[in-house]
Structures are given as structure tokens and as C-alpha cells.
Amino acid sequence: MLSGLLVCGRCGSRLHVSYKHGRKTYYSCGRHRRDPNHTRCPGMGAGPLDACVAQEVLRALEPAALALSLQALHDLEDERRRLDQQWQQRLQRARYEAERAERPCRPSGSSKRTTIASRRRNRRG
């Protein structure tokens, strides 16, 4: 995880990952390979160091993660309000259309009177 980011505490060269026994990761200084006069620097197991760094990174990111979670919650609430408003508008539109569709079928008071008056005239005439 930290290959090339860590430096040797003894000589200041960058540490690289190597594998001990084919499985365990190990950070080691390779300066002795480049400089034959340099003695080998001690290395260290990568597991505990990687775990410590990962824990610190997560701790540093925790406030940002909390802020992102809160923002996501607010975004979901806004979306819910928007969808609710949209459904209310659809419901209102459907009621209006239903009422409008019923209007021609219902006789109004004045047309009813006109119809009754014309029937009376037809009976007399």
C-alpha cells in the first residue's frame, strides 16, 4: 500500500515492497543494491504498518464521510419532497380533468329551465 511513499529511517532511501517466504509483505530499503559500500538497512513487516496507516487515513476521512452522509440524507429528503409535490400536482390535474369531463353531462340550472320551458311551449303549441 505504501510502496515508494515510505523512506528508510537510517539512510533516507525510498522503501519498496518485497515478499518474505512468498507470502508476507515486507518493506525494505534497496540502497545496498545500488551502493555496494552501503550496509544493509533493516526492513519491517508491511502488515502492522499498513493497518496503522489505513486506520489513520480512515480517521482523517471520517468527518468528510459524515458530511457526505448528511448531504446524501438531505438530497434524499429533497428528492422525496419533489416527488411528493409532483404526485400532488398529478392528483390535482386528474381531479380537474375528471371534473371537466363531467361538466357537459350535468345540466346546468339555466339550461334545465330552458328545456322545461321549451317542453311546455311544445305541449301548448
- Give yes or no for a contact between 16 and 27, defined as CB atoms under 8 angstroms apart: yes
Q: Which of 1-15, 47-61, 103-117 has the highest mean pLDDT?
A: 47-61
Residue of 54, 74, 72, 53 whose CA lies nearest to 64? 72
* Strand partners for 20: 24
Q: Dihedral (C-alpha) 119, 101, 98, 110: value to the nearest 10 degrees? A: -30
- pLDDT, residue 55, reads 86
Q: What is the pTM of this model?
A: 0.41
- Give yes or no for a contact between 17 and 25, defined as CB atoms under 8 angstroms apart: yes
pLDDT in tens, 58-87: 888 788 878 888 888 899 999 999 999 999
| Residue 11, C-alpha cell as written in the block | 539512510
Residue of 43, 18, 46, 14 whose CA lies nearest to 31? 14
Q: How far is CA 89 from CA 61, 83, 86, in A?
A: 42, 10, 5
